[in-house]
Structure 1
Amino acid sequence: MTTRTTRYIALLRGINVGGHNKVPMAELRALLADIGYADAKTLLQSGNAVFTAPATATAKVAKAVETTLAAKYGTDIAVMVRTADEIRAAVDANPLDVGHPSKFLVVFYADPVDRTKLEGFDASAHAPEEMALSEREIYYNFPEGMRDAKLPIVVERKLKVRGTGRNWATVTKLLALAEEE
Structure 2
Amino acid sequence: MPSSPPLYVILLRAIGPATHRLMSMAQWREAAERAGFVAPETLVNTGNMIAGFEGTAAAARKAMEPVLRHFGLGENVAAIVRTPAQLRRLVKADPIADAAQNRPAETGVYFFAAAKPDFGLIKEHDGPEAIHIVADHLMVDFSQDVAQSGKLIRKIDRLCGLNTARNWNTTRKLAERATAREKA
TM-score by length of 2: 0.85
Amino acid corresponding to residue 144 of structure 2 in structure 1? E
Amino acid corresponding to residue 103 of structure 1 in structure 2? E
Q: Structure 2: how far apart are the matches of 1:179 and 1:74?
A: 30
Change (3 A) 1:6 1:106: same
* 2:59 counterpart residue number: 60
Number of residue equivalences: 175
* 1:45 counterpart residue number: 45
- Cα RMSD, aligned residues only: 2.1
* 1:72 counterpart residue number: 71
Deviation at residue 30 of structure 1 after TM alignment: 0.2
Q: Structure 1: how far apart are the matches of 2:39 and 2:108?
A: 27
Change (3 A) 1:178 1:100: same
Amino acid corresponding to residue 175 of structure 1 in structure 2? A
Query: Which deviates more from structure 2 when the two are superposed, residues 44-53 or residues 68-77?
Result: 68-77
* 1:126 counterpart residue number: 127
Q: Which has the higher helix share?
A: 2
* 2:13 counterpart residue number: 13
Question: Which of these residues, 94, 111, 114, is aligned with residue 114 of structure 2?
Answer: 111
3-state SS, counterpart of residue 44 of structure 1: coil
Change (3 A) 1:73 1:119: closer
- Identity within the alignment, %: 25
* 1:101 counterpart residue number: 104
3-state SS, counterpart of residue 153 of structure 2: helix
User: Which 4+ runs in 1 deviate beyond 6 A?
Assistant: none
Q: Which runs of 5+ in 2 are unaligned?
A: none
Q: Which runs of 5+ in 1 are unaligned?
A: none
1:85-141 Cα deviation digits (max 9, x unpaired): 1111222233223241111100101223433x6167322x102x1111233311100
Change (3 A) 1:65 1:92: same
1:7-62 Cα deviation digits (max 9, x unpaired): 21100011224x246320000110111012122111121101111222x2211101
Q: Structure 1: how far apart are the matches of 2:72 and 2:3?
A: 31
